[in-house]
Chain A
Amino acid sequence: MAEKLSWTELRRTLAARAGVTEKEAGEFLAAFNAQLIEALKQDKQVKINGLGTFRLQAVAPRRSVNVSTGEEMVIEGYNKLVFAPEAGVKELVESQPSADEQPTPTTIDPIKKLGEQAQEIVGLLDELNDIRPEEPESPEIPEQPETPEEPAPAPAPKPEPKPEPTPKKYHFLRDTLICVVILLLLLLIGYFFLRSQLTSWIEQLGNKEQVEYVIEGEESDLDEEVVALTPQPQTYGKLITTERITPGSRLAWISKKHYGDIAYWPYLYDANKDRLQNPSFIIIGTPIRVPKLTPEQLDLSSEQTRVNLEYLEREARKAMR
């Protein structure tokens, strides 16, 4: 990274490679810069084959706050010059460092693994296919040297009829064997593939069932607890403040601001029930009373609090409809 190709070096190499003088190369580079900028001003985009695209990217104006005075201000929109390398160039550059950084592939991807398995199996099959035809050849090879060794014409026809039927049979057997092996392997691959998919489906189904079950369980628990605990009327202590609703603000945010967690928003709804028809559509400017909550009301680990909050939330959700 520290290494740089300076402008003078660039000019020198360009002159040498293109077969022009350094002066001409310099003129070219200067013209390149000037014309590129002109072109960018005109077209917002310059595509250079074999390198990439220079483009003017518009940055939208945005609001910000003056850090020292706290005043709101607008940062004007402007254009940014960006460069996107051409696909080929990008790949070339990206492929470069992978050579010196070896431990890169650590993806946990079942599909890839399956693909690799399939490739391995294909490789094995190829090997098998390569081996099988060789085997029938191997018995033939020792036979051939036998024939020239035996000089007598009489024994020569004898080995000929004998080996001829045997290799044929062998071929038959081998072929059927290969077919069977391939079929078996294919079946195995299919089986494993299906099994992995099936298990994932089953897992998904199982998860869904579990989730449903949990929800049902919670609801039944709630009903019991509501009967047992029945906490409803909340009393609120002194008001901390009154928040005025501004565009984009939510009960949950106010809850987070004053109580430290969004979970307490139903209290806010409860305390301001008379002013809020629908907790998800609050009229801008509505003052929201933020009461001080007792430690019990803030205790999320207590069953009672949970029941209270859930009851209030249900009330609020009812109001939303």
Chain B
Amino acid sequence: MLTKDLINLIAGATGKSKKETEHLLTTFNAIIRENLMAGKTVQLQGLGALETKTRSERIIVHPKTGERTVSPSKTQVVFKPVATIKDALKNS
């Protein structure tokens, strides 16, 4: 399912126009992006939390050549679903 379909669904549920919904969704995305970039955890009530996780640097070995290089530490976006959502989707 793509953004367009989701917008249609949300618009149908809230009774707003598609344009308004799209505007809301893009602002919503922007807010999440900015907060994640600032290293903040974004809590989506009833759904879960989007947070950043730092992966420490580690030595990686090229499987073919056996060459060892250091993979620099990086920050990743991780989504942690709420338990209820986890259970609800478990057997769907």
Partners in one complex: yes
Q: Which B residues contact A (CB, under 8 angstroms)?
A: 1-3, 5-6, 9-10, 13-14, 16, 20-21, 23-33, 35-48, 50-52, 54, 57, 67-70, 72-79, 81, 85-86, 88-92
Interface size on A, residues (CB 8 A): 63
CB distance from B88 to the nearest CB of A (A): 7
Point out the residue from B24, B37, B81 that lies within 8 Å of A14, measured CB to CB.
Answer: B24
**A6 in contact (CB, < 8 A):** yes
- Measured CA separation A1–B52 after assembly (Å): 7
CB distance from B9 to the nearest CB of A (A): 4
Point out the residue from A5, A13, A81, A92 that lies within 8 Å of B41, measured CB to CB.
Answer: A5
Point out the residue from A28, A42, A106 that lies within 8 Å of B1, measured CB to CB.
Answer: A42
Closest to A45 in B: B1
Residue contact B14 to A27, C-beta cutoff 8 Å: yes
Residue contact B13 to A81, C-beta cutoff 8 Å: no
> Which positions 45-59 of chain A face chain B at CB distance < 8 Å?
45-52, 54, 56
A-B contact number at CB 8 A: 176
Residue contact B14 to A79, C-beta cutoff 8 Å: no
Q: Which A residues contact B (CB, under 8 angstroms)?
A: 1, 3-7, 10, 13-14, 17-18, 20, 24-25, 27-43, 45-52, 54, 56, 78-83, 85, 89-90, 92-94, 96-98, 101, 104-109
B-chain residues with CB within 8 Å of residue A79 when the two chains form the complex: 89-92
Residue contact A1 to B24, C-beta cutoff 8 Å: no
Residue contact B9 to A104, C-beta cutoff 8 Å: no
Closest to B26 in A: A50
Residue contact B13 to A97, C-beta cutoff 8 Å: no
Closest to B70 in A: A106
